[in-house]
Structure formats: C-alpha cells, structure tokens
C-alpha cells in the first residue's frame, strides 16, 4: 500500500518540471493521476502524451487533459470530465505557472495580466470547480505552488511575486472556508530549484544564489514532490493553512 493508494490526484501544468515530478511521486505512492497542461502545438501534444505514458508505467491510471488553466469556463468542463472519468478528486495541486519578469517601470499591462491569470486565477478556477466535489466527499487536500518570492518579494518580479503571495493568501482563506468539512489547503514555496528555467542563469548569478543557501545546493524537483506528498497524504491530516518553504534554508 502506498501513501496515496485509492486516491485521485489532479495536478495542473504537469507535462514537465516540478508538476511532472509531483505527479510521478504521487503515482509511485499509488494515486491515480489526472493532469492538465497547455497544448498549443504538436510538440506540446507529444510532450503531454509522453508524460502520461511515463506515469502510467508506474502502474496507476493516468489521463492527460489539454487546456488553459487560466480559462474559467474551460476549467469547469475539464474538472467535470475528470470527475466523470475518475469518480473522485482527492488532491488538487495548482502548479501551472509562468514568469514574465521586468522592473515595475518597464512592465507592460500584458506582462502583469498574463502572470496573474496563469499563476493565480488558474488556482481560483480549479479550486472553484473542485471544492464542491471535495465538500461532497467530506475530504480533500489542496496544494498551491507558491514561491519564496511570494513571501519575501523580489526586484524585477513584482507580477510573479504578487501572484505567488496571492497563492499563499488563497490557500489560507480556503483552509478557513473548507476546513470544517475536512478539506485542507496549504501552499509550498520553492526556492532555487534545478529546472530548465534556472539552468539558463549565468554562472556568477548562480554562485551568488548558492552563497545564500545554507545547504549550498539548488533544490531538485523531487525535493518539492516529497513535501507535496506529505501534504497530499494523511501524514499531514492536522496541517492546514500553512506555507512550507523548500529552499535549503535560504529564508528563515
């Protein structure tokens, strides 16, 4: 028996990166997986299907759903379909996210809107669609993927930091609203994680980051997946409304 055997987990933006690592970890602990991602071309469609097959190879049911998490109507339809396909939604991980960095004075309205819509509104969309299901089940765990910059801010990322701060406040508010019916909500705040995004950073900037991290290494996607597993499972049955920073001790 795995920690999530018999549960259905829905993860947004999980074709690659942290979301994929979370989906793989959950599947390895027995959860059936529904995941979404944006599909704008054939390459993205192939990526979605490749990840679906990789997860299914772990011995669980896995279905992939193409869709824009920032679209309210589309999300309502997707979640309805997932509920029909799986019969329950026990864990929701709001992971889909983008960056469009820039200093405030140079930031366009389009940069602001895109990041807030994909990073924050998407979580509202999915929580709005999933919470009636979780309330009827009298249980569920919602995990919002925030960031350390959502706690501490970051020059050049005002849109991203605001969206991630919103993810934290959203989780805390939902924890208060849905807690009486057994639904928990938490946020995780990753620091410097070794992904395609951080691999592009110049060596000197990378070195500066490492100096700030007591554990002197970047995080692996599995470091995030492990904490999500804890929050998704009954191991955290008395943990709600929290934000867990996963950053090698960078912020204390």
> What are the residue numbers of the active site?
160
Binding of ligand NAI by 187 (CB under 6 A): no
DSSP per-residue codes, the chain: --TTTT-EEEESS-SSHHHHHHHHHHHHTT-EEEEEE---SHHHHHHHHHHHHHHHTTTS-EEEEE--TT-HHHHHHHHHHHHHHHS---EEEE-------B-GGG--HHHHHHHHIIIIIHHHHHHHHHHHHHHHHT-EEEEEE--THHHH--TTBHHHHHHHHHHHHHHHHHHHHHGGGTEEEEEEEE-SB-SHHHHTS-HHHHHHHHHH-TT-SPBPHHHHHHHHHHHHSGGGTT--S-EEEESTTS--
Binding of ligand NAI by 95 (CB under 6 A): yes
Binding of ligand NAI by 143 (CB under 6 A): no
Of the pair 179, 197, the CB lying nearest ligand NAI is at 197
Binding of ligand NAI by 159 (CB under 6 A): no
**Minimum distance from CB of 171 to ligand NAI (Å)?**
13
Site string for ligand NAI, 99-118 (x = CB under 6 A): -------------------x
Binding of ligand NAI by 193 (CB under 6 A): yes
Binder of ligand NAI out of 1, 105, 110, 196 (CB under 6 A): 196
**Minimum distance from CB of 182 to ligand NAI (Å)?**
26
173 is in an annotated binding site: no
Binder of ligand NAI out of 11, 18, 34, 134 (CB under 6 A): 18
Binding of ligand NAI by 33 (CB under 6 A): no
Of the pair 135, 151, the CB lying nearest ligand NAI is at 151
Of 65, 29, 23, 12, the residue nearest 233 (C-alpha): 29
- Chain residues that interact with ligand NAI, rule: CB under 6 A: 12-13, 15-19, 36-38, 68-70, 95-98, 118, 145, 147, 190, 192-193, 195-198
List residues forming the annotated binding site for NADP(+): 13-16, 95, 160-164, 193
């Amino acid at each position: 028996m795995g920690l999530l055997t018999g549960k259905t987990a829905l993860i947004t933006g999980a074709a690659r990166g942290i979301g994929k690592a979370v989906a793989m970890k959950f599947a390895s602990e027995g959860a059936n997986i529904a995941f979404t991602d944006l599909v704008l071309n054939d390459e993205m469609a192939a990526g979605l299907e490749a990840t679906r097959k990789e997860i299914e190879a772990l011995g669980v049911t896995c279905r992939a759903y193409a869709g824009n998490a920032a679209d309210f109507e589309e999300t309502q339809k997707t979640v309805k379909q997932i509920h029909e396909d799986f019969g329950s939604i026990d864990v929701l991980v709001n992971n889909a996210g983008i960056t469009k960095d820039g200093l405030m004075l140079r930031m366009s309205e389009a940069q602001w809107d895109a990041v807030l819509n994909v990073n924050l509104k998407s979580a509202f969309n999915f929580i709005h669609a999933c919470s009636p299901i979780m309330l009827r089940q009298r249980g569920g765990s919602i995990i919002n993927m925030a960031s350390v910059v959502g706690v501490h801010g970051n020059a050049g990322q005002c849109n991203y930091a605001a969206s991630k701060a919103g993810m934290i406040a959203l989780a805390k508010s939902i924890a208060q609203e849905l807690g009486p019916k057994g639904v928990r909500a938490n946020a995780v705040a990753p620091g410097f994680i070794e992904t395609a995004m951080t691999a592009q950073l110049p060596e000197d900037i990378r070195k500066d980051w490492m100096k700030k991290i007591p554990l002197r290494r970047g995080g692996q996607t599995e470091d995030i997946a492990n904490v999500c597993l804890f929050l998704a499972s009954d191991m955290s049955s008395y943990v709600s409304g929290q934000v867990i920073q996963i950053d090698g001790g960078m912020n204390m």
